[in-house]
Amino acid sequence: MSIHQPPGGQPLRSIDALVEAGLAAPDKRDALRKVAERYAVSLTPAIAGLIDPADPADPIARQFVPDAAELQTLPQELSDPIGDDAHSPVEGVVHRYPDRALLKLVHACPVYCRFCFRREMVGPGGDALTGHKLDAALAYLAARPEIWEVIMTGGDPFILSARRVREVARRLAAIPQIKVARWHTRVPMVDPGRITPDYARALRMPGKASYIAIHANHPREFSEAARTAIATLADAGHVLLGQSVLLKGVNADVGTLSALMRAFVENRIKPYYLHHPDLAPGTAHFRLTLAEGQALVKSLRGNLSGLCQPTYILDIPGGAGKVPVGPAFLSPCEAPGAEALAEDRQGGLHRYPPA
């Protein structure tokens, strides 16, 4: 694989920069500029360096390099596919479930995933949640005794400085009913140099359980620098969870998905959610059917350690929330003396007796 870095080691934030770096074809420049006019573009040096420009189907490029297919919006696709706005009582807070709430600290990311479900809301220039807006969001959380967990998201909250995350952590730690803090990020994979021991300490909330959900979709994202960043977070006492999106052309095959889940576990990250792609505008080329996804997830069971098993999740369009849609291994049985048929990993069926 050809490894290279962008000129000057700077993020690639324009189609011209992608063409110059050899990551986009010159004859596609005009079409891709139309994509960039609608959706944000940014590739960090760490991500650009993982792409093989000689491979037209490179799975890292597919995640981050714009594609003209993004200009095709299907009727069922939604600008707010999981209904954040309908559950946002104050700016920066999404309160969809009784015992937990999202705190959207920023609207920008170090990279912009081409399948992002918030792609209509994130991008450079978006305001961070600061000042009176942050005060109002924290006041909302403090006034709800049912909120047990707060999930920091955005954008990517790890683009904030250590000083800023330390301030947020301190203020959340002062809310007694909040017992769990969870940060969602791609930074350890896409900009691993940001994760220093001081940064890892800044994320801690005294007296609270601290979780970090790290998003990765392909085993190649686990570079040596990424592994070092992950170890820094784990060694600081954070519990690490893995999140992935099942993406056609990236990880929608048994071999890649298995290697991805093993890479998580080898790096002290417990696979948590494997998301079915959301109905975000211009993302149809990433989606596969639920039945195809279920078959892939079913293939993991029994062939990979239980530590490597994520929950296959569908976020119901419109804001009704997440539901597990993993494959079933039990089916009803009408035979005498049996309550159900249990399917083993080879496809064999076994009667299970009634209680």
45: its two tokens: 């040096």
Domain ranges of the chain: 7-71, 85-324, 329-355
pLDDT value at residue 295: 95
| Phi, psi (deg, nearest 5) at residue 165 | -70, -30
The structure's pTM equals 0.95
| Whole-angstrom distance, CA of residue 87 vs CA of residue 93 | 8
pLDDT value at residue 280: 97
Q: Residue 223 CB: number of other CB atoms within 10 A?
A: 17
pLDDT value at residue 246: 98
Per DSSP, helices labelled H in the chain are 15-20, 29-38, 45-48, 59-64, 131-142, 162-173, 187-190, 197-202, 224-235, 254-266, 290-300
Asked whether the predicted pLDDT for residue 8 surpasses 70, the reply is no
| Whole-angstrom distance, CA of residue 302 vs CA of residue 319 | 33
Identify the bridge partners of residue 210 per DSSP, sorted by sequence position: 181
| Whole-angstrom distance, CA of residue 282 vs CA of residue 278 | 11
pLDDT band at 302 (very low <50, low <70, confident <90, very high): confident
Lowest mean pLDDT among 8-12, 144-148, 300-304: 8-12
pLDDT band at 3 (very low <50, low <70, confident <90, very high): very low
Model pLDDT for residues 68-123, shown as the tens digit of each residue: 999 999 999 999 999 999 999 999 999 999 999 999 999 999 999 999 999 999 99
| Spatial contact of 155 and 123, defined as CB atoms under 8 Å apart | no
| Whole-angstrom distance, CA of residue 342 vs CA of residue 273 | 24
| Whole-angstrom distance, CA of residue 10 vs CA of residue 7 | 7
H/E stretch holding 210 reads strand 209-215
| Whole-angstrom distance, CA of residue 323 vs CA of residue 275 | 10
Active site residues: 96-97, 100, 109, 113, 116, 118, 278, 315, 322
pLDDT value at residue 349: 93
pLDDT band at 60 (very low <50, low <70, confident <90, very high): very high
Residue with tokens 């119901």: 316
Model pLDDT for residues 187-212, shown as the tens digit of each residue: 999 999 999 999 999 999 989 999 99
Asked whether the predicted pLDDT for residue 352 surpasses 60, the reply is yes
pLDDT band at 334 (very low <50, low <70, confident <90, very high): confident
Asked whether the predicted pLDDT for residue 126 surpasses 80, the reply is no
pLDDT band at 158 (very low <50, low <70, confident <90, very high): very high
| Phi, psi (deg, nearest 5) at residue 297 | -65, -35
Cα dihedral 72, 73, 76, 79 in deg (nearest 10) = 150
| Whole-angstrom distance, CA of residue 337 vs CA of residue 325 | 29
What dotted CATH number matches 85-324? 3.20.20.70
pLDDT value at residue 335: 85
pLDDT band at 7 (very low <50, low <70, confident <90, very high): very low
Average pLDDT over residues 221-231: 98
Asked whether the predicted pLDDT for residue 27 surpasses 90, the reply is yes
Average pLDDT, the chain: 95
Asked whether the predicted pLDDT for residue 235 surpasses 50, the reply is yes
Average pLDDT over residues 267-274: 98
pLDDT band at 4 (very low <50, low <70, confident <90, very high): very low
